[in-house]
C-alpha cells in the first residue's frame, strides 16, 4: 500500500467518504479540495487527475479490506470450511452497519464503464483476490471443484451486494451465507465429513464497507 504525504492522506480520506456517500460521478475535485482543505494544485500533483484519485481511493480500500478480512479469518479458530462460511459472517457485519450502501467496488464498476479506466484494474484485482481466497479455503477444506466453488460463492456475494442497493435488504448477505452453506455441503467429498454447526466467528478489529 502506497504511503502518501499528510495532504495526500487527507485527500484520500475525503474523496473516499464523498465517493461512497454521493457517488463518483456526482463528486468533482472542487468538492474534494473544499472539504479536505487541500489545494487543487496539490491534488493534481499527488494524483495527476480525478481518474488517478479514483484509482488511488479504490486501491486504498482494496488493501485495507484485504488486511481486515485476513486478520478476521486468522481469529477464527475453526477449520477451513468454517472459515469459508465465516467470510459471509464478516461481510454481513458490514451490511448491518448504518450508512451501508453497497460494495464500493461494485458501485464504482457501475460508474466506470470504460474498461481502460485505472480504477477498473483495482476493482478486478480485489474481486480476483476475494475469489481466490474463497477457492483456497475450499481447497484446504477438501471440497470438490474448489475453483468453481469459489466463483459460485463470489456470485452469491455479488448478488447480495446488488440486493442491498436496489432493495435496501440489509439481511441479504446473511441469507447468502445460508445459501453458501448449502453449496458447501453439496461440495463435500464422500469422506464422512460431518455437517458443521453454526459458524462462531471472531469479532473483527476493523471493518470497512463491502
pLDDT for 69-96, tens place per residue?
Answer: 999 999 998 899 999 999 999 999 999 8
Contact indicator for 146, 91 with CB cutoff of 8 Å: no
Paired residues of 188 in beta bridges: 143
Give the pLDDT confidence score for residue 210 in this predicted structure. Answer: 52
Contact 126, 210 (CB under 8 A): no
Neighbouring residues of 178: CB distance < 8 A, sequence distance ≥ 6: none
pLDDT, tens digit, for every residue of 89-139? 999 999 988 888 899 999 999 999 999 999 999 999 999 999 999 999 999
Say what percent of the chain tops pLDDT 90.
Answer: 79
Long-range contacts of 23-26 (CB under 8 A, 24+ apart): 23/107, 23/111, 24/54, 24/107, 24/108, 24/111, 24/112, 25/111
**pLDDT at res. 204:** 42
> How far is it, in rounded angstroms, from Cα 84 to Cα 142?
12
Q: How far apart are CA 169 and CA 140, in angstroms?
A: 32
Check: CB of residue 24 under 8 Å from CB of residue 111.
Answer: yes
* 3-class DSSP assignment, residue 199: coil
What pLDDT is stored for residue 104 in this prediction? 94
Cα–Cα distance, 83 to 201 (Å, whole number)? 8
- pLDDT tens-digit readout, 35-76: 999 999 999 999 999 999 999 999 999 999 999 999 999 999
Amino acid at each position: 500500500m502506497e504511503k502518501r504525504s499528510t495532504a495526500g492522506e487527507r485527500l484520500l480520506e475525503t474523496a473516499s467518504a464523498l465517493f461512497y456517500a454521493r457517488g463518483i460521478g456526482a463528486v468533482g475535485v472542487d468538492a474534494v479540495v473544499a472539504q479536505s482543505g487541500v489545494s487543487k494544485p496539490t491534488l493534481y500533483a499527488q494524483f495527476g487527475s480525478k481518474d488517478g484519485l479514483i484509482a488511488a481511493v479504490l486501491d486504498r480500500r482494496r488493501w485495507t479490506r484485504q488486511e481486515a478480512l485476513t486478520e478476521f479469518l486468522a481469529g477464527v479458530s475453526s477449520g477451513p470450511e468454517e472459515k469459508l462460511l465465516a467470510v459471509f459472517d464478516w461481510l454481513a457485519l458490514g451490511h448491518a452497519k448504518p450508512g451501508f450502501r453497497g460494495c464500493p467496488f461494485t458501485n464504482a464498476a457501475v460508474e466506470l464503464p470504460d474498461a481502460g479506466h485505472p480504477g477498473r484494474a483495482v476493482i478486478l484485482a480485489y474481486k480476483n483476490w476475494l475469489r481466490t481466497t474463497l477457492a483456497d479455503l475450499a481447497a484446504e477444506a477438501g471440497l470438490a471443484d474448489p475453483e468453481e466453488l469459489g466463483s459460485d460463492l463470489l456470485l452469491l456475494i455479488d448478488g447480495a451486494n446488488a440486493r442491498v442497493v436496489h432493495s435496501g435488504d440489509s439481511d441479504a448477505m446473511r441469507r447468502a451465507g445460508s445459501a453458501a452453506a448449502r453449496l458447501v455441503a453439496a461440495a463435500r467429498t464422500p469422506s464422512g465429513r460431518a455437517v458443521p454447526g453454526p459458524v462462531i466467528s471472531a469479532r473483527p478489529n476493523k471493518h470497512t464497507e463491502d
